[in-house]
Structure formats: C-alpha cells, structure tokens
C-alpha cells in the first residue's frame, strides 16, 4: 500500500491497514507517517512491529532498523537492537546493524568490536573487508591487510583481491600487489580492478618505465578491450592523479598504447585529444 492524499488521510489509512492486514510493510508505512507528524513513541513501536513481522527478514526490517538508528539516541538504539534480537543472542543481524550504526554515529571502537563479533558468528568475506576498511582508516594497516587476506581466501575474486592489493600498494609492498594482479588475470574474471588500483602507486614509486614494463606483457593475457581500459585509467592517473606529476608526454604515450591495442576505442581517443588540448 502506498501513501496517498494528505498526511492525516494516510494516517487513517495505515491504521486501518494494520488492523486488516498486520504485516511488516503496513506497519512500516504507519511508522513513517506517525514520525512525520511528531508521534515519536508510536512510530518507534510501529517500526518494532515491522521488524518482528518481516517474514523475509530483509527489506522492511532493514529499513526499520535504520530508521530506529536515526531516531533514537545511540544507547537507546543499541538497546532496542538487542531487545529485538533477544531470542537469538548470536544474531548476525544485530552485530551488522550495530556496526553500521556505530560507524554512522562516530563510535568507531564499538563498530570494530561489532565486526569482530560478527566474524565469530559468521566469518564471511564482506565482513572481513568492512572491518579491514575501518582499520585502514584507523591507521592500523598490518591488521587490516590480515583481514583483507582472509576475505580474499574466503572469496578469491577480483573485488576482494583488489582491496588487498590496494592496501599492500599503500604500504609500498608493490611486489606482492603486482603478483596478486597477475594471479587475478589468470582467473580471467573480467574487471581487473586488482590491477588498475595499483597504477598510480607503481608509477609514483618506480616511475613510468617500470609501470609500462609491467603492463606490456599483460596484453597477451587480457582481452583487448579490457587491456585498453587499464591503459586509459593509467594515463588518466598519470595526468590527473594525486601525484601532481601531470606528465603530459607520458600520459599521451599511454593513451597511444591503448589505441595500438584497440584502435577504435573512443575513450582513448577522447582522452588523448583532451590531453593535447589542455
């Protein structure tokens, strides 16, 4: 049921809806309407009902949890999250939402603790990575890299390897990052973020000659279009990246290399044209 008419009409309609069909979606829309007109306590109660009645355990409960996290004080939100999952003391939903709430409210240590507990309950790759991301921001790279490694071990995909290689490159461990890039290429997965994420660190640390020497053999291992994309990103990183080098000649050489591989690539043509005109 969608909200229609005035806010007063909507409130009447949703009160009737939960009487006739007390399901999660109707309680959620009732809660939204109650909150809009300032009936805070009633809204909280309705959000709680939406969570309890969500048979699938996804959309409505997720939205209601998020709303409660926005409305309540941090300690109140944590207490309600825990109360709503009291029948399951090892609820991964509780710790996931607690981590998200804690980060949003600035309670970083609490978020880290929640991620650690979530990992104990269900150690999946996404949670390892979320925890590692926070640890990187907390300037704890060694611990973060250890969790990125665990994520990649759980799910050896380009995404998780890219997070690991990026962290390694930031810590100037380029040799391992480059090795991971080559391993991902062998899997033939497709996006090659693992390789493109180390463009700029490799260029900064070892220079243009080194980065080109690394890229050239990859052309025999990567589909033409994908290889051109890697060169284009490299060229853009060189000319517009945070390094401040802005080497137009080197960037132009990279774009021309992309066009050798994929002569009709419009992105490479446009990038080269814009670079020359700048």
d(CA 271, CA 228) in angstroms, rounded, equals 12
Centre a 10 Å sphere on the Cβ of residue 177 and count the other Cβ atoms it contains: 25
Centre a 10 Å sphere on the Cβ of residue 134 and count the other Cβ atoms it contains: 20
Centre a 10 Å sphere on the Cβ of residue 242 and count the other Cβ atoms it contains: 8
Instruction: Give this prediction's pTM.
Output: 0.77
d(CA 247, CA 173) in angstroms, rounded, equals 24
Q: Given this model, what pLDDT does residue 94 score?
A: 83
Buried b (16+ CB within 10 A) or exposed e, 65-74: bebbbebbee
In tens digits, what is the pLDDT along the chain, a chain of 278 residues? Answer: 444 458 888 889 889 999 998 888 899 999 999 999 999 999 999 998 888 887 665 667 778 888 888 888 899 888 887 876 766 767 787 888 899 999 999 999 999 999 999 999 989 999 999 999 999 999 999 999 999 999 999 999 889 999 999 999 989 899 999 889 888 888 776 667 888 888 888 888 888 888 888 888 888 888 888 889 889 998 998 887 544 445 888 999 999 999 999 999 999 999 999 988 87
Nearest alpha carbon to residue 69 among 56, 82, 52? 82
Nearest alpha carbon to residue 272 among 252, 247, 249, 245? 252
């Amino acid at each position: 049921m969608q909200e229609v008419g005035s806010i007063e009409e909507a409130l009447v309609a949703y009160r009737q809806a939960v009487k006739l069909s007390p399901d999660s979606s109707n309680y959620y829309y009732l809660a939204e309407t109650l909150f809009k007109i300032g009936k805070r306590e009633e809204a909280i109660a309705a959000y709680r009902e939406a969570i309890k009645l969500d048979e699938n355990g996804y959309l409505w409960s997720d939205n209601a949890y998020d709303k409660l996290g926005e409305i309540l004080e941090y300690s109140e939100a944590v207490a309600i999250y825990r109360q709503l999952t009291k029948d399951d003391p090892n609820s991964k939903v509780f710790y996931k939402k607690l981590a998200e709430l804690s980060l949003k409210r600035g309670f970083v240590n609490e978020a880290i603790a929640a991620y650690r507990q979530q990992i104990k309950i269900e150690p999946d790759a996404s949670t390892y990575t979320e925890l590692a991301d926070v640890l990187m921001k907390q300037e704890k790279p060694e611990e973060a890299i250890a969790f990125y490694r665990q994520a990649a071990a759980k799910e050896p995909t380009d995404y998780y390897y890219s997070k690991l290689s990026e962290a390694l490159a930031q810590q100037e461990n380029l040799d391992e990052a480059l090795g991971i890039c080559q391993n991902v290429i062998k899997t033939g997965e497709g996006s090659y973020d693992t390789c493109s994420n180390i463009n700029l660190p490799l260029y900064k640390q070892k220079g243009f000659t080194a980065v080109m020497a690394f890229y050239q053999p990859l052309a025999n291992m990567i589909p033409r279009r994908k290889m051109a994309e890697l060169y284009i990103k490299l060229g853009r990183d060189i000319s517009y990246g945070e390094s401040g080098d802005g080497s137009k000649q080197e960037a132009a050489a990279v774009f021309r290399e992309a066009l050798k591989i994929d002569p009709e690539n419009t992105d490479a043509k446009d990038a080269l044209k814009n670079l020359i005109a700048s």
